[in-house]
Structure 1
Amino acid sequence: MGHPDVKGILAAEAAAGLRQLNERSREIFKRVVETYLETGEPVGSRNLSRALPMTLSPASVRNVMSDLESLGLIYAPHTSAGRLPTQTGLRLFVDGLLEIGDITEAERHEIESRMVAGGRRRGVEDFLAEAGEMLSGLSRCAGVVLAEKQSKRLRQVEFVSLGQGKALAVLVGEDGDVENRIVSVPEGLPLSSLTEATNYINARIGGLTLAEARTRIEAEIEARRAQLDELTASVVTDGLATWSGDGDDRQSLIVCGRAHLLEDVKAMEDLERVRHLFEDLDAKKDLIQLLGLAERAEGVRIFIGSENKLFSLSGSALIVSPFEDSEQRIVGVLGVIGPTRLNYGRIIPMVDYTARLLGRLVP
């Protein structure tokens, strides 16, 4: 699986922004952002002048901070003399100045042991939920996993007549999960056609995913190799289409560890931000669309604040990466959602490593 060089290739926008900063401005800007990520508090010129590796008076630091403010990289909250990074500044820092670490041996061991144990659980949903819970616990954020339901491997199907142009379509996965759907069938369809449709599908789907089975069988029917009468063929294709679903119904969204988002609440405005974030997490359709953007790209993706309309009110950040199945096909995406004040340098490699490990273990 392709994944980013987490030691960092600068994005074009970040490189252009950094070229406007000399060494002194860059160091001060970096300290402002790092202080924010560590404490959430604005930092003033006096404290900065003490922390810098170069000798600068508070007055000189204030002049540089004024320049950074005019560039839209930092701002003064309320009447505070200190400064915080803007969303633009935070993006510039993440893309161009962030020092990405590596996960510790203890974290690596915990990820591997929990994922391997999760792989022995009953069902893909449990396995993916374990990955989300594990990431949530390590990052102290909400964990999110989006996966195609069609990645489930099939064991057998059955059609049961309900009369009046309806039939119950029962799908059994290799993991033992059972999924039922009511499908429309032609009025007066003989029971023998349902039996034939059941036998035809079961002779072809063993071990395939729903997506693979649908592609294979529809191709056979299209090429007229299926040797099915028209009514039976319609039952087969309509049944597979109903199971596959459309839009949100094709995808399973798992959100874990929301309580972690309340751990760092210090003021009413923080509580209001978390409330908006909870609403964002409940907006399943919007969240699925956002995760879908990450699914179409290689490696770790980072969304900060109002860069995406979903987080325009909560000012949150999303760090996610797609994962593949054993045949190197992208089948989902996982990551974490939290405040913009995340430990990006630690969480990015954690998400990246988990996604690659999940790709090797996903059933």
Structure 2
Amino acid sequence: MSAPVKSSSDRAGSGMLLDLNERSREIFRQIVDSYLATGEPVGSRNLSRLISMTLSPASVRNVMADLEQAGLIYAPHTSAGRLPTELGLRFFVDAMLEIGDLTAEDRARIETQVRAAAVGHSLESALAEATALLSGLSRSAGVVVTTKQNLRLKHIEFVQLDARRGLVVLVSEDGTVENRLLDLPPGLPPSALTEATNFLNARIRGKTLGELRSEFEARRTEMERELDALTARLVEAGLATPAGSEDGRHLIVRGQANLLEDLKAAEDLERIRLLFADLETQHDVIDLLTRAEAGEGVRIYIGSENKLFSLSGSSMIAAPFRDASQTIVGVVGVIGPTRLNYARIVPMVDYTAKVVSKLIEGSR
């Protein structure tokens, strides 16, 4: 079973469902299903053939007028057909969406490929594979945001480059190596780099940078008694989050080219151009994905519910993944047009997040 789906908006919900009779629900569902399948508006004549009950095109038009007045559907341009509004899609997702389940083949493919990417490589390789895999399965863009601050450390090394600059080398348990430049305190003796290296390596024991920083802050007075002032400053600089690093958060995007497929009109191309511009603004994408860390379950964002997608009219489906202590350490998801196949992609994202979580837990 998939994790519960969390709404990113309370503007539509089950209350509205109670106001729709069986005919209205059936016609509305067919309008949404047609939009998700084709992206095209559907008219009353076609709807009268699609719905299970016997209704004339005139009766269907009356129901469509009521749905339009409720803000659930609209007529694009001068078309006689109707499309769901963003409010209508939110209502559909919150109150009417029937979440499917992944096939055994899809589950095996996700688990096998993500785990294979981690063998002999870094966790980041596995996350990149998960992102590419989601992109391929959904025919949209796959996204992952994670933080290097949550990688479990194996070794730290301070290296002097010249009189004023040094390098801190961070080696994680999964094999990831990160090099950071840092300014050395004036008058720092070469022995201080060795002392700082030994001091931290004696305390790593699979901790994250965040945990080491917290420990240093909690025991600052005690540790400063063990180190001279300059070495203590070096240790603190080595554990610091680099400026402009979004607290160490890192964005991976794969499969943007998928978004260029199946374009219906010139306005679709403009929408995708705007979405590409959104994806280039990494700070805003990271901010949106980070919001999906709140609580359990899969989060769905539709169109202008979020300012990032207000122009491109896109949707995002995302789910958090966790480490062995059940701390959320990142988010995996899919970004694409509002006519994403929500019923299929929600369990796909949810299962991928669970596979990544198990992978991280197993690396401890």
Interval containing the TM-score (normalised by the shorter chain): over 0.9
Counterpart position of 1:204: 203
Counterpart position of 2:145: 146
SS in 1 for 2:105: helix
- Using the TM superposition, give the Cα deviation of residue 6 of structure 1 relative to its aligned residue in structure 2, in angstroms: 5.9
What is the 5 A alignment of 1:1-363?
4-5=3-4, 13-224=12-223, 227-242=226-241, 247-248=245-246, 250-362=248-360, 363=363
CA distance in 2 between counterparts of 1:206 and 1:125 reads 21
- Using the TM superposition, give the Cα deviation of residue 345 of structure 1 relative to its aligned residue in structure 2, in angstroms: 0.4
- Using the TM superposition, give the Cα deviation of residue 218 of structure 1 relative to its aligned residue in structure 2, in angstroms: 3.1
CA distance in 2 between counterparts of 1:53 and 1:120 reads 51
Residue 181 of structure 1 contacts residue 242 of structure 1 at CA under 8 Å; is this kept in 2?
Answer: no
Residue 291 of structure 1 contacts residue 333 of structure 1 at CA under 8 Å; is this kept in 2?
Answer: yes
Residues 70 and 219 of structure 1: is their aligned pair in 2 closer, same or farther, counting only changes over 3 Å?
A: same
Deviations 1:299-329 (A, max 9, x none): 1000000111111111111000000012211
Residues 79 and 307 of structure 1: is their aligned pair in 2 closer, same or farther, counting only changes over 3 Å?
A: same
Which residue type is aligned with residue 302 of structure 2? I
Residue 3 of structure 2 contacts residue 296 of structure 2 at CA under 8 Å; is this kept in 1?
Answer: yes
SS in 2 for 1:248: coil
Identity of matched residues, %: 59
- Using the TM superposition, give the Cα deviation of residue 271 of structure 1 relative to its aligned residue in structure 2, in angstroms: 1.0
SS in 1 for 2:297: coil
Which residue type is aligned with residue 41 of structure 2? P
Residue 11 of structure 1 contacts residue 95 of structure 1 at CA under 8 Å; is this kept in 2?
Answer: no
TM-score by length of 1: 0.93
Which residue type is aligned with residue 140 of structure 2? C
- Using the TM superposition, give the Cα deviation of residue 76 of structure 1 relative to its aligned residue in structure 2, in angstroms: 0.6
Residue 113 of structure 2 contacts residue 129 of structure 2 at CA under 8 Å; is this kept in 1?
Answer: yes
- Using the TM superposition, give the Cα deviation of residue 224 of structure 1 relative to its aligned residue in structure 2, in angstroms: 4.6
SS in 2 for 1:204: coil
Q: Which runs of 5+ in 1 are unaligned?
A: none
Which residue type is aligned with residue 194 of structure 1? L
Residues 287 and 311 of structure 1: is their aligned pair in 2 closer, same or farther, counting only changes over 3 Å?
A: same
Residue 183 of structure 1 contacts residue 242 of structure 1 at CA under 8 Å; is this kept in 2?
Answer: no
Residue 140 of structure 2 contacts residue 256 of structure 2 at CA under 8 Å; is this kept in 1?
Answer: yes
SS in 1 for 2:246: helix
- Using the TM superposition, give the Cα deviation of residue 4 of structure 1 relative to its aligned residue in structure 2, in angstroms: 3.3
Deviations 1:245-290 (A, max 9, x none): 5552601110011111111112211111111111111110000100
- Using the TM superposition, give the Cα deviation of residue 3 of structure 1 relative to its aligned residue in structure 2, in angstroms: 6.8
TM-score by length of 2: 0.93
Deviations 1:62-119 (A, max 9, x none): 0110011111110011111110000000110011011111011111111111122122
Residues 43 and 275 of structure 1: is their aligned pair in 2 closer, same or farther, counting only changes over 3 Å?
A: same
CA distance in 2 between counterparts of 1:21 and 1:67 reads 10
Which residue type is aligned with residue 304 of structure 1? I
CA distance in 1 between counterparts of 2:60 and 2:270 reads 33
CA distance in 2 between counterparts of 1:52 and 1:69 reads 18
CA distance in 2 between counterparts of 1:356 and 1:115 reads 11
- Using the TM superposition, give the Cα deviation of residue 340 of structure 1 relative to its aligned residue in structure 2, in angstroms: 0.5
Which range moved further: 137-146 or 245-254?
245-254
Q: Which runs of 5+ in 2 are unaligned?
A: none
Q: CA RMSD in A?
A: 2.2
CA distance in 2 between counterparts of 1:174 and 1:329 reads 18
Number of equivalenced pairs:
360
Which range moved further: 13-22 or 156-165?
156-165
